[in-house]
Amino acid sequence: MPAIDPDLIPADLFPVIDALCATGAQLSAVIARGPLGQSLGAGVGENSDGDQQKALDVMADEMFEAALKPAGVRHYASEEQEVVLTLDAAGPYALAIDPLDGSSNIDVNVTIGTIFSIFDAVADPTASFLRPASEQIAAGYIAYGPQTLLAVTFGAGTLLYVLDPETGRFVLASEAMVLPVAAKEYSINASNRRHWTAPVLAYVEECEAGETGAKGKTMNFRWVGSLVAETHRILTRGGTFLYPSDARKGYEKGRLRMVYEVAPMAFLVEQAGGQATDGKTPILSLQAGALHERCPLVFGSAEEVARIAALHG
Ligand code: FBP
């Protein structure tokens, strides 16, 4: 029995999506048990970027790697691993994954997720991923929250599936998610305010000014600290998300990785009618120069993203 409704999934990609969903359902059960199971948030080391790895980061990576091996994935690039792995030398796909996004929320029962991006594989493992984001053939996330759900695009709209806990299957909930053009909410880690660039500060000040400022309306503020949760909220009811470059050492290109986080979220959001930029250039026309390279990310409701781009000149 497949782990997802097959009807709207391209047949050749179905084994990959099915393997992602089957693993997502297993992970969802592990996460739901929280402290009743093993210590998911315990620190277990550092990945190649110097980020602290938690037990669930490593467990999720191992589970996805094992499940994707027989599913047609030739090249597997994980945020948790330094280099690209070859899973199936004859497989047609290159899959990049952030197995567990939002690790700081593992221990506090707040939504976390898995993000993935799929390209057609080329011979060179790393070159398979260092391509314009517009060349992705599929991208999506699984959110582990009050509901476990999958948002996915194959380049013709953004689909939403919800895990039915009674059957363990992902069931179609929306054939076409629509990200509202206008926004009433914005998201940025405001504790970094003193490090922001002038355009980012100008945008936030416009939001804070509310009905007395240029926007003429109140903007609500939200920050979860899980990109997947933030993206799902914005896909559902509009808003903006910013993780810009700032003046901190190591944040010259923001925090998020182009291959594992920025490119897939940009593809999903644009397929739902939103926009994604690094401030000046649409993300979909950018490509990473290195596997773990970071990239500033601004995405969300089209009107707001256009305003942020205008402030960047
Ligand atoms: P991880 O992949 O290590 O979880 O980092 C990504 C992330 O948690 C995003 O989900 C989130 O948007 C961001 O980092 C939060 O960063 P900060 O702690 O600087 O606000």
Nearest CA to ligand 1 atom 18: 225
Q: Known binding site: residues? A: 79, 98, 100-104, 189, 261
Q: Is residue 145 part of a domain?
A: yes
Q: Is residue 65 part of a domain?
A: yes
Chain segment 10-26, per-residue pLDDT in tens: 999 999 999 999 999 99
Chain segment 113-159, per-residue pLDDT in tens: 999 999 999 999 999 999 999 999 999 999 999 999 999 999 999 99
- Kindly state whether residues 23 and 162 are assigned to the same domain: yes
Phi-psi region of 91 (alpha: psi -120 to 50; beta: other; left: phi over 0): beta
Task: Count how many domains the chain has.
Answer: 2
- Kindly state whether residues 73 and 100 are assigned to the same domain: yes
Residue ending a domain, among 174, 206, 233, is 174
- Kindly state whether residues 164 and 200 are assigned to the same domain: no
- DSSP for 223-249, please give it: --S-HHHHHHHHHHH--EEEE---SST
Report the separation in Å between the CA atom of 279 and the middle of ligand 1, taken as the mean of its atom positions. Answer: 19
- Kindly state whether residues 24 and 154 are assigned to the same domain: yes
Q: Is residue 8 part of a domain?
A: no
Closest ligand 1 atom number to CA of residue 192: 19
Report the separation in Å between the CA atom of 8 and the middle of ligand 1, taken as the mean of its atom positions. Answer: 31
Ligand 1 pocket mutation, candidates 54, 56, 81, 104, criterion most atoms within 8 A of CB: 104
| Domain range enclosing 221 | 185-311
Chain segment 143-200, per-residue pLDDT in tens: 999 999 999 999 999 999 999 999 999 999 999 999 999 999 999 999 999 999 999 9
**Whole-number pLDDT of residue 101:** 97
**Paired tokens of 5:** 């409704």
Report the separation in Å between the CA atom of 224 and the middle of ligand 1, taken as the mean of its atom positions. Answer: 9
- Kindly state whether residues 151 and 234 are assigned to the same domain: no
Nearest CA to ligand 1 atom 15: 225
Nearest CA to ligand 1 atom 7: 102
- Kindly state whether residues 20 and 157 are assigned to the same domain: yes
Closest ligand 1 atom number to CA of residue 228: 10
The 8-class DSSP code of residue 252 comes to B
**Whole-number pLDDT of residue 275:** 98
- Kindly state whether residues 26 and 153 are assigned to the same domain: yes
- Kindly state whether residues 94 and 193 are assigned to the same domain: no
Here the CATH number for the domain that contains residue 103 is 3.30.540.10
Chain segment 227-270, per-residue pLDDT in tens: 999 999 999 999 999 999 999 999 999 999 999 999 999 999 99
Residues 207 and 301 sit within 8 Å (Cβ to Cβ): no
Chain segment 78-94, per-residue pLDDT in tens: 999 999 999 999 999 99
- Kindly state whether residues 20 and 111 are assigned to the same domain: yes
Cα(217)–Cα(206) distance, rounded to whole angstroms? 10
In what order do the strands lie in the sheet containing 148-153? Answer: 85-86, 73-78, 93-101, 112-120, 138-144, 148-153, 158-164, 169-174
Query: How large a percentage of the chain has pLDDT more than 70?
Result: 100
Residues 109 and 34 sit within 8 Å (Cβ to Cβ): yes
Q: Is residue 74 part of a domain?
A: yes
Nearest CA to ligand 1 atom 4: 102
Q: Is residue 211 part of a domain?
A: yes
| pLDDT bucket at 32, cuts 50 / 70 / 90 | very high
Residue ending a domain, among 174, 199, 218, is 174
- Kindly state whether residues 205 and 72 are assigned to the same domain: no
- Kindly state whether residues 38 and 164 are assigned to the same domain: yes
Ligand 1 lined by 98 (C-beta under 6 Å): yes
Residue ending a domain, among 174, 198, 230, is 174
Q: Is residue 6 part of a domain?
A: no
**Whole-number pLDDT of residue 42:** 85
Closest ligand 1 atom number to CA of residue 256: 6
Phi and psi at residue 56, to the nearest 5°: -70, -30
Here the CATH number for the domain that contains residue 280 is 3.40.190.80
Ligand 1 lined by 255 (C-beta under 6 Å): yes
In what order do the strands lie in the sheet containing 185-187? Answer: 220-221, 185-187, 240-243, 297-300, 275-277
Residues found in the chain: 313
Q: Is residue 164 part of a domain?
A: yes
Closest ligand 1 atom number to CA of residue 113: 10
Residues 102 and 112 sit within 8 Å (Cβ to Cβ): yes
> How does the average pLDDT of the chain come out, rounded?
96
| pLDDT bucket at 97, cuts 50 / 70 / 90 | very high
Q: Is residue 5 part of a domain?
A: no
- Kindly state whether residues 75 and 192 are assigned to the same domain: no
Closest ligand 1 atom number to CA of residue 98: 2
Q: Which helix (H) or strand (E) holds 32?
A: helix 14-33
